Structure formats: C-alpha cells, structure tokens
Amino acid sequence: MKSTPDEVSEFFMRIVEDHVAYRKKNNIFRKDLMQLLIQLKNNGKMVDDEKLPLENITEQENELTLKEIAAQVFVFFGAGFETSSTAMTFGLYELARNMEIQE
C-alpha cells in the first residue's frame, strides 16, 4: 500500500540521486546524516564502526540502495516537518483559547 503519490516518491528519488552524485563528483565529505547513508551505501558500514567493541556483533554488511536512502531522507524530512507544524498549531490554538496570555 502506497502512502505517497508517485510524484513525491520520484521527487525524493531524484533529489537523493542528484545529491549523492554531486558529493561523489566533487569529493565532498560532511559530518551529517546524508554522509552516513552514503557510507552505508558504498561500504556496507560506517567509518566509526571500527571503534565499536566486537562482542555480540555478527559479521554482516548490508549496503543501502539509493531507494532506501531516499526513504530514510523522506522519513527524516517528514518527522521534522510534522513536529514543527504540530507545535506551532498547538501554540496558536492555546493563544486563541486564552486571550489573557496574549498580553
């Protein structure tokens, strides 16, 4: 079951593909979520994984696809957007209901 229109999915896919290609072409490295996702795509693990203790860790490397990266970016974007809009809506609702706190 799809929860988003095809245009939205295609938009996020295109943005991620362009962004990953741009970073690769220009050899850009940043300390952000996108860099971690790109590392998982390219290496199957993150750079800082070598610092983790090896107890209870199975030997498994999973590479992300561009489609999975786009899905993570979409969720990250949606989670941040929804939180902000809900907080603003609640704040405005409270101001409308309690006129005395506006002064």
Alpha-carbon distances of 45 from 48, 84, 86, 95, rounded to whole Å: 9, 32, 35, 48
pTM: 0.60
The H or E element containing residue 88 is: helix 66-97
How many Å apart are CA 99 and CA 84, to the nearest integer?
23
Q: Render each residue's pLDDT in the chain as its tens digit; 103 residues.
A: 677 888 988 998 999 999 999 999 999 999 998 998 988 888 876 655 555 555 555 555 567 888 999 989 888 887 877 788 888 999 999 999 998 887 7
pLDDT at 78: 79
**Quick one: which of 5, 1, 13 has its CA closest to 67?**
13
Helices (H) and strands (E) in the chain, counts: 3, 0
